[in-house]
Structure 1
Amino acid sequence: MSELFGLSPSLIAIAVLVFVFAGFVKGLVGFGLPAIGLGLMTVFVGIEKAMLLILWPSFLTNVWQALSGGHLKMLVGRLWPFLATAVLTLGAGTFILTRVPEGVADLVLGLLMVAYALPMLAGLSFKLQERHAVPVGIAAGLVNGVFSGLTGAFVVPGIMYLQALGLQRDVLIQAMGLLFLLSTIALGLSLGGFGLVGGSELLASIALVVPALSGVWAGQRFRRRFSDTAFRKLIQLAILALGLYLVPLGILRLIQ
């Protein structure tokens, strides 16, 4: 059989390496699996198929992240307006994905990566006062939901909002996991509702859980040994590089 799970042997090897690396980053700093997985796999299989491949690895790694840490009840009580908006508006982004020309999603994903990485590399930080947390959270959730449905990446502007709340590192990591988990569930339902989920892609996604979790395990071990600041800089540089690659790629596909 020349293909397995709808992927050629060379693509399977690439996907395994991509998800080990993306899982490693996820284990190291608490995020990055969808962004890195999508950014790399989009180059080989396109944005829609890449979004399907990340579903199960993203879901299971986010279950672990969202439920570990001991702050779940507090986070749900504090963040529910932001989380609910991010979930409820995700379907709008998926609807847009089914209507826009090929290349638009690549372009948007690249711009999102650049928009996230540049301020962080420049040392930019935001601090929200408590009275502004709910209205800003609803606005951030709306934008995050639409972009998540369109691109399959859940980071912009959600992570910026969570950082602006001033959460401590372990609480922030669990809050990101909660956002990513709920967004992954909503994305899976939305892709299925719009007829974008195929059997072979889902089987491939399930198979890629193993390399993703292996990467997470390795990343967690390395987290104890190295400076979080140094690794965050490297990850942000990698996301920036992927974004700068995807922007011209999306433009090229649009004009073809």
Structure 2
Amino acid sequence: MTDTLFLDAVVTATFLLAGLVKGVIGLGLPTVAVGLLSLVMTPAQAAATLVVPSLVTNLWQLAAGPGLRPLIARLWTMMLGIAVGTWAGSGLLTGDGAGLAARALGAALLLYAATGLTSRRLAVPRRLEPWLSPAVGVATGLVTGATGVFVIPAVPYLQAMGMERDALVQALGLSFTVSTLALAGALYGNGALPWSTAAASALAVLPALAGMGAGQWLRGRISAHLFRLCFLWGLLALGGHLLLAGGGR
């Protein structure tokens, strides 16, 4: 009973924090949630708990953009690649190598944080998108399937495409929504998303939405740049711990 209450408290606090981060900077919910939950459960369990809050918050983000149809026309090959890559990479997350999956997650968090902390910004010429988009999608899917985190290399790539701010936020929402659905399908297909876990994931929507609302309120009252730096340094430390220790059980 005590262990159950402790785990429920950890899940609630994690999704409050993850929602807060997403509300302030527009992303980070899966990264924070899976990273922190992997300290007390396997990465597969953490990813399964993430599914419903991630889907709900990303659909909210997706619906708030300027125009979905042209975005899909531009990014559909990347979305297809994400789906294919997630299914191909899901064996590591849902198989027997939970420690290896935790270390892979740590490496992904370190890479994401290090990429975010560099001042260098990349630019992708429009003419290269037909070739790069499917490759980036498959790579993102492989990372998603192996770790439950779907920001590398999708986020740096989308940021390099030169979109307007609102279109970029919507593109991130589209990428995260497709990644969440693909991850949910892979987890369910591998028996790692039973109905009991799905129910617990649904309950995590409330703290995630509460945190997201608080983050949106906080966005106009603090420096988003400073908050983002603290977030990235925190991910760097968390990723290093998971990489070295292999996560918690």
Q: Give the TM-score normalised by structure 2.
A: 0.95
Equivalent residue in structure 2 for 1:240, among 222, 236, 242: 236
In the alignment, what sits opposite 1:28? 24
Contact 1:93 1:148 in 2 (8 A): yes
Aligned partner of residue 38 in structure 2, secondary structure? helix
Q: Which amino acid aligns with 1:37?
A: A
Is 1:171 the counterpart of 2:167 in the alignment? yes
Q: Which amino acid aligns with 2:212?
A: V
Q: Which amino acid aligns with 2:236?
A: L
Structure 1 unaligned runs (5+)? Answer: none
Contact 1:113 1:239 in 2 (8 A): yes
Moved more, 98-107 or 166-175: 98-107
In the alignment, what sits opposite 2:119? 123
Structure 2 unaligned runs (5+)? Answer: none
Q: Which amino acid aligns with 2:6?
A: S
Moved more, 13-22 or 160-169: 160-169
Moved more, 224-233 or 171-180: 224-233
In the TM superposition, residue 65 of structure 1 has moved relative to its aligned partner by 0.6
In the TM superposition, residue 168 of structure 1 has moved relative to its aligned partner by 2.3
Contact 1:82 1:134 in 2 (8 A): no
Q: Which amino acid aligns with 1:174?
A: Q
Q: Which amino acid aligns with 2:149?
A: A
In the alignment, what sits opposite 1:220? 216
In the alignment, what sits opposite 1:61? 57
Number of residue equivalences: 249
Give 4+ residue runs of structure 1 displaced > 6 Å after superposition.
Answer: none
Q: Which amino acid aligns with 2:166?
A: D
Q: Which amino acid aligns with 2:92?
A: I
Q: Deviations over 1:182-209 (max 9, x none)?
A: 1111111111111111222111111111
Distance 1:240 1:173 in 2: 23
Identity %: 37
Distance 1:252 1:188, change over 3 A: closer
In the alignment, what sits opposite 2:15? 19
Distance 1:100 1:129 in 2: 41
In the TM superposition, residue 247 of structure 1 has moved relative to its aligned partner by 0.5
Distance 1:9 1:151 in 2: 26
Distance 1:48 1:251 in 2: 12
Contact 1:52 1:202 in 2 (8 A): yes
Moved more, 19-28 or 99-108: 99-108
In the alignment, what sits opposite 1:154? 150
In the alignment, what sits opposite 1:82? 78
Distance 1:226 1:169 in 2: 19
Distance 2:128 2:92 in 1: 30
In the alignment, what sits opposite 2:193? 197
Distance 1:229 1:80 in 2: 31
In the alignment, what sits opposite 2:89? 93
Structure 2 counterparts to residues 178-193 of structure 1, below 5 A: 178-193=174-189
Distance 1:98 1:17, change over 3 A: closer
Contact 2:159 2:168 in 1 (8 A): yes
In the alignment, what sits opposite 1:211? 207
In the TM superposition, residue 252 of structure 1 has moved relative to its aligned partner by 9.9
In the alignment, what sits opposite 2:102? 106
Moved more, 152-161 or 196-205: 196-205
Distance 2:173 2:125 in 1: 23
Distance 1:31 1:10, change over 3 A: same
Is 1:37 the counterpart of 2:33 in the alignment? yes
Q: Deviations over 1:208-246 (max 9, x none)?
A: 110000001011111122232222212211211111111
